[in-house]
């Protein structure tokens, strides 16, 4: 379960999050929608521990553990996965080596035995096949020369291998690329279980056609201003954020 309590965060002197509170119970998928500049990306980075964002007030608990003091790698080991809106290219780093390093780092922290190269490749090849990816995916440098859709698939491959308890999907402005949305949706839906939660951050309702959320929150000017069922997303699509803020 993810609990965000009165979270305030700023970049430099600029306050972006002004008291965000929400709870994602285990097994549920929640969506955060909001206009540009509402703080959606900031929220995903603060939750995953990126440098440069200062939390000035509030708390975040994941499965009862205060995560704000944890390094990004420790949050990952605790089961939090951030799917990047724009996955980063790593020239010179092979995808298989990267994935195995990540999986073994997380396994080590979770007290599990590391996988040797053979065991890892077996696991990775099976995941690659499940996600309808070409096998040369594992041989290429991480995200280098990948198309937009391939980068998204690679994010989903990482998610499948790291088996997080909570996925944060930053899809703030990628709503225009339908193929990419479908890939992300397939990845999330494949992991759906009573032990898996997701926080889907998006500007457009369209993603939610493919990942049906249990709850939709509306983030505006650094605060959650409305929460409701999936129907709320349709209302936003019809009337826009301006109408909602006036209500």
Residues at the contact surface with other proteins, assessed by CB under 8 A = 48-51, 71-73, 75-77, 81-82, 84, 87-88, 90-93, 97-98, 101-103, 105-106, 109, 158, 162
- Cα–Cα nearest to 10, from 37, 34, 42, 41: 42
Compute the distance between CA of residue 245 and CA of residue 242 in angstroms, rounded to an integer.
5
- Of 45 and 196, which CB lies nearer to other proteins in the complex structure? 45
- Of 101 and 147, which CB lies nearer to other proteins in the complex structure? 101
Compute the distance between CA of residue 167 and CA of residue 213 in angstroms, rounded to an integer.
13
Judge contact between 143 and 87, C-beta under 8 A: yes
| Minimum distance from residue 166 beta carbon to other proteins (Å) | 13
- Of 71 and 247, which CB lies nearer to other proteins in the complex structure? 71
| Minimum distance from residue 161 beta carbon to other proteins (Å) | 9
Q: How far apart are the first and last CA of the chain?
A: 31
| Minimum distance from residue 227 beta carbon to other proteins (Å) | 27
| Minimum distance from residue 181 beta carbon to other proteins (Å) | 21
Compute the distance between CA of residue 13 and CA of residue 16 in angstroms, rounded to an integer.
9
Question: Taking the CB of residue 132, how many other CB atoms lie within 10 A of it?
Answer: 9
With H, G, I as helix, E, B as strand and everything else as coil, classify residue 244: helix
- Of 68 and 102, which CB lies nearer to other proteins in the complex structure? 102
With H, G, I as helix, E, B as strand and everything else as coil, classify residue 32: strand
| Minimum distance from residue 170 beta carbon to other proteins (Å) | 11
- Of 142 and 180, which CB lies nearer to other proteins in the complex structure? 142
């Amino acid at each position: 379960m993810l609990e965000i309590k009165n979270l305030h965060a700023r970049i430099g002197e600029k306050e972006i999050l002004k008291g965000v509170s929400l709870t994602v119970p285990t097994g549920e998928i929640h969506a955060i929608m909001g206009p540009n500049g509402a703080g959606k990306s900031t929220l995903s980075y603060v939750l995953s521990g990126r440098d440069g964002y200062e939390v000035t007030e509030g708390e975040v608990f994941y499965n009862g553990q205060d995560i704000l003091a944890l390094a990004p790698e420790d949050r990952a080991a605790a089961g939090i996965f951030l799917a990047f809106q724009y996955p980063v290219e790593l020239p010179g780093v092979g995808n298989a080596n990267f994935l195995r390093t990540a999986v073994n780092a997380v396994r080590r922290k979770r007290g599990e035995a590391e996988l040797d190269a053979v065991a890892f490749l077996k696991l990775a090849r099976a995941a690659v096949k499940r996600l309808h990816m070409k096998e040369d995916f594992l041989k290429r440098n991480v995200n280098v020369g990948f198309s937009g859709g391939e980068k998204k698939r690679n994010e989903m491959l990482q998610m499948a291998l790291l088996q997080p308890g909570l996925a944060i999907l930053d899809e703030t402005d990628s709503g225009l690329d339908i193929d990419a949305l479908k890939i992300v949706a397939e990845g999330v839906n494949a992991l759906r279980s009573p032990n898996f939660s997701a926080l889907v951050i998006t500007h457009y309702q369209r993603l939610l056609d493919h990942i049906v959320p249990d709850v939709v929150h509306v983030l505006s000017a650094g605060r959650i201003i409305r929460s409701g069922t999936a129907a709320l997303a349709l209302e936003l699509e019809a009337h826009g954020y301006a109408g909602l803020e006036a209500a």
